[in-house]
Structure 1
Amino acid sequence: MKYPYLTGDKIILKSISENDVDALLEIENQSSLIILGDDEVPYPRTKESLLKFIHTEDPERVFGIYLKENNQIVGNISIYHVDLQNLNCEIGLSISENYQNLGIGFESIKLVIDFIFYYLPMEKIKLQVFSFNKKAIKLYEKLGFQHEGSLRNEIFRFGKFQNLENYSILRDEWKETKKGCTFKKCMLSFK
C-alpha cells in the first residue's frame, strides 16, 4: 500500500526511511523523551526495536516528522490501538528536544487528526499524558482535546507512581474547532 505524505507549513509527515533510523534512534533516546515514555516502549530504544516500530502494519501507522526546508527528521507521530469496531484510535508524539516549542508538535497533531478524521473512519482519537507534563497538556487542550479522567498511580517513574491523564477529541468537536483543514485543502499525496 502507498502511504500518504501529509504536508503542513513547516513539516512533512511521511514514512520513515531506514536511512533515518540512526537519527531517529538518537532522538528517541534523549533523556526528556525517555522520561515521558510509557511502559509499552522499551527504553533505551535499540535499532532493532525502532525498526520493528516503524514497520508497523496497517491500520496502525507511524509517520516521521520531517522539516520541509531540509528533509531532516525531528521526531515521529503514530496512530495505534486502532479499534475498527468502535471507531477509535490513539496517537502518540515524540519530538527532538532541539525542535520543541516551535509549533512542530501542534502542526504534526493537527495534520494527523485531519488524516484520521477525513481519511480513516474514526469517530474518536485518544491520548494519554503524564499529569506533570503541563506543556503537552496545554498543547492538547489548545487543539480541542477534552480531559476524560485520570488513571491514578498508573505508571512507576522516578521512584514513585505517576498519574496518567486521558484526553480525547471527537470528529464533530474537531470540525467545530475549525483548527483542522477541509480535506480538499489538506495537502495529501501518496508516494
Structure 2
Amino acid sequence: MNATSGFSLKPTLRGERVTLRPFTEADVPTMVEILSDPDVLHFTGAPDDDETADSALHAWYTSRNDQTDRLDLAVVNRANGEVVGEVVLHEWDPANQNCRFRTLIGPKGRDRGLGTEATRLIVGHGFTHVGLHRIALSVYDFNPRARRVYEKVGFVAEGIEREVLRHRGEWVDATAMSMLASDWATRSDT
C-alpha cells in the first residue's frame, strides 16, 4: 500500500488500552475541552491566551476524515469509551515516503500508558500498512514526559532545534527525533 491510499483510508486501530478511530462530530466538544487544558496549551507551545473559536475547531475536526494527505485519529480510552486526545501523521512527503507525527493527550488520559500505546499503534500503522520509510517529530525541551514516550516507542534524537519557539517570554529549544521503518522492524515490542 502506498501513502496516498494509506492516508485516504481512515482506519480504526485497537490496542489493549486505547482505540484509535476517525473523529466524529460528537467528539468536537471533548476536543474543545482538551484544547483548553493549561497543560495541553503549555506542552504544545500554544500561546496562553489561545482561544480558538469553537466554530473553527468544529470545522477542523469535522473535516479531518476528508483529508487525503494526513491521518488524524481520536484516542479513545477503552476502559470507559472517552476520547482523551489525538494522534496525527501529517506533512506527508510522498517522494521520500516520510511524514511528521504529533499527538496530544488531555488530562483524563495522562499517566496510564494511553499515549504510549496510541503512539505505538499509529507509528506501526504508518510503517506496516502505509509503507512509510521515516516518521519525524519535534519535542520541546519543557516536555520531558513526551520525550520519554517517544524514546520508549523507538524514536531517536537527531539534533537540537535551537530557540525554535518563543514561549512565555523565553526562547525554547526542541529536539528533532525520528524513526525509520528499519528501526520499527527490529523492535521487540511491535
Are residue 88 (structure 1) and residue 98 (structure 2) matched? yes
Residues in 2 aligned to 1:44 and 1:90: alpha-carbon distance in whole angstroms: 25
Is the Cα–Cα contact under 8 Å of residues 133 and 180 in structure 2 kept in the other structure?
Answer: yes
Corresponding residue for residue 151 of structure 1: 161
Per-residue deviation, residues 70-127 of structure 1 (Å, max 9, x unmatched)? 3211111111101111111111111112321100011000000111001112100011
Q: With structure 1 as the length reference, what TM-score do the two structures score?
A: 0.87
Q: SS at the partner of 1:69?
A: coil
Greater alpha carbon shift after TM alignment, 55-64 vs 109-118: 55-64
Name the residue aligned to 2:180.
Answer: 170
Unaligned stretches of 5+ in structure 1? 181-191
Contact 2:45–2:167 (CA under 8 A) maintained in structure 1: no
Q: Give the corresponding residue for 2:78.
A: 68
The RMSD of aligned alpha carbons is 1.8
Q: Residue 18 of structure 2 contacts residue 118 of structure 2 at CA under 8 Å; is this kept in 1? A: yes
* Aligned-partner Cα distance in 2 for 1:32–1:39: 10
Counterparts of 1:39 and 1:27 in 2: how far apart (Å)? Answer: 13
Q: Deviations over 1:120-156 (max 9, x none)?
A: 1210001111012111111111111110111111110
Are the aligned partners of 1:39 and 1:155 in contact in 2 as well (CA < 8 Å)? no
Matched, 1:113 2:115: no
Report what 1:26 is aligned to: 33
Q: Percentage identity across aligned positions?
A: 23
Q: Does 1:35 align with 2:45?
A: no
More divergent stretch after superposition (53-62 vs 4-13): 53-62
Partner residue, 1:123:
133
1 or 2, which has the higher helix percentage? Answer: 2
Q: Give me the TM-score of the superposition, normalised by structure 2.
A: 0.88
Q: Does structure 1 residue 136 correspond to structure 2 residue 146?
A: yes
Tell me how many residue pairs correspond in the alignment. 179
